[in-house]
Each structure stands twice: as structure tokens, then as C-alpha cells.
Amino acid sequence: MEDSRNALQAILAMISLEKILAVFIICAVAWLFLVFAQFSLAKLTLKLPKHRLLLNRLYPFIRLFTWGGVIMYAIIGILNPHENLVLAVIGSISIVIGLATQEPAKNLIAGFIIMLNPPYRVGDMVTLAGHYGEVIKLEWSVTWLRTFDDNTVMVPNAEALKTAVSNSNSGALDEMVVINFCLPIHIDHQTAIALAKEATQCSPYTFLNKPIKVMISSDFRFGEHLLLLTIKAYVMDVRLERKFSSDINIRVLNAFKQARLYGE
């Protein structure tokens, strides 16, 4: 009881109006700096679209080191508590946090691991916890995804480390897109391959610095044999994936119809 009273008196003696005001000012300056950093990165992203993914990945690290520095400076530089008091408070807080916030603590630790050894980064297209979308924000405890239906999904970071993560572009701006077509078995497959490749090359969304592959396989569906034509091509920006897929479908189907590939 006496030790608790002494610790409480030490804490009260350490706190003053000037120190509280100084901590508030430091936090306000840090917040304004982060707002400015986020605004500046957004402007740079518009001017340098090729470096969008790199610029988006900088903000989580800037925020991490900024608030880490604020906390360290507030404790050591402003409050400057006695060593025994620090150890006592850390021990008490650790017990409380360990008992009351096991899941949040797991998410925080998982978020730190993800930032140091990332299976995905901001801007990547990933399948996470059954949801496919772009990583738009990576926080200490959660990862935010935006799906193609314009839904925002929050996934706890601990969940990301427990399950398999499928990453479509792994830090690159371009991404492979696979498009399948089912064709009658009697058509000229060589002509179909040539038309599909030419139509894909003509799409404004195709990243031509990487190869376009068109492959043929066979399958038995609905009581008949079919040809499966698969196009593997790269879109120039991961955000254009659905537009690219739709554009390729339209171009390839139009090419097949104009060539009367299916017959009269």
C-alpha cells in the first residue's frame, strides 16, 4: 500500500501544466507534419504516376517513426520520470495490457512484422481473408483493402499472418491478367490464337514491355468437347485490371465475329 502511494505521489509530482502543454504541442506538431506529408505524397503521386506504389508505401513508415519519436521524446525529454517509476509503470501496464488486449496486441505485433518483412505493400492487389482488392492503407493493427465493387474492407493484421496471401503484382505497377474463352472444337485454333494475340496487342491498357501468351487446351463440358483459349497479358496499372479484362473480351469477340470464326 505504501509503495503504491509513493508511486502515485511520484507520478503527480512529475506532471505539471507546463509539461502537459509541451506534450500537447509536440503531438499537434507531429499531427500537422503527418497531414502535410500525406498531402505532399498525394500530390507527388499525381505528378509521378509511375512511382505511385513507392510513394504510397512511404507514409506508413513516416507515421511509425514520427509517433515513435514523439512518444520517446515526451517520456524522456519532457516528463523525465525516475528510473524506478518507469520500471514500475511498465510492469503494471504490461500486465494490464497482456490480460485485457491480447487480440489487439497480436494485431499490433503482426502489423510491425508486416512492415519489416512485407508479404504485401500499399498499392498491391491481394487476396486477403477471402477478399480481393488493392491495399490502400497499412496501419499498425489493420490492413485496409478497396475491392473492385468500391467496398472498403478492414482485415486484422494477425489474420493476414495466419492465412495464405495471394499477391498479384508484388510491388510492380503492372500485373498479369488471365482471360479465358470457350470455343467450339471445330474452329481453326491457329486463327483463333492469332486473332486473340493481335486484339490483345491493340488494347490501350496492355503493357507491351512484357510478353503476351495465348494458350489452347481442351475440355469436355455440357456433353461436348470444347477448346479453351487462355490469354495471359499484363495490364499497365493494377487499377485498370477490370477495364483491361473487359476491353480484351470485347476486342477478341469482335475479332472472332469479323473473321466468322464460328461459321455462319
The mean pLDDT value of the chain amounts to: 80
Residue 257 has pLDDT above 70, yes or no: yes
DSSP symbols for 53-103: HHHHHHHHHHHHHHHHHHHHHIIIIII---HHHHHHHHHHHHHHHHHH-HH
Specify burial of residue 62 (Cβ count, 10 A radius: 0-12, 13-18, 19+).
Answer: middle
Which residue in 49, 78, 261 sits closest to 174, CA to CA?
49
Average the pLDDT over 32-45 and give the result.
86
Beta-bridge partners for 221: 224
pLDDT single digits (tens) 141-196: 888 898 888 888 988 888 877 878 888 888 788 889 999 998 888 888 899 999 99
Domain boundaries, the chain: 2-100, 119-167, 175-258
CATH number of 175-258: 3.30.70.100
Domains 119-167 and 175-258 share a fold: no
Distance CA 16, CA 20 (A): 6
pLDDT of residue 49: 75
Most confident of 39-43, 104-108, 160-164: 39-43
Neighbours of 2 (CB within 10 A): 6
Distance CA 218, CA 262 (A): 17
C-alpha cell of 153? 474492407
pTM here? 0.62
pLDDT of residue 1: 45
Q: How distant, in Å, are the alpha carbons of 117, 145, 242 from that of 155?
A: 18, 8, 23
Q: Which CATH code of 2.10.109.10, 2.40.50.140, 3.40.630.30, 2.30.30.60 fits the domain covering 119-167?
A: 2.30.30.60
Q: How distant, in Å, are the alpha carbons of 36, 49, 73, 121, 168 from that of 52?
A: 17, 5, 32, 12, 16
Average the pLDDT over 197-207 and give the result.
93
Residue 264 has pLDDT above 60, yes or no: no
Amino acid code (one letter) for 5 = R
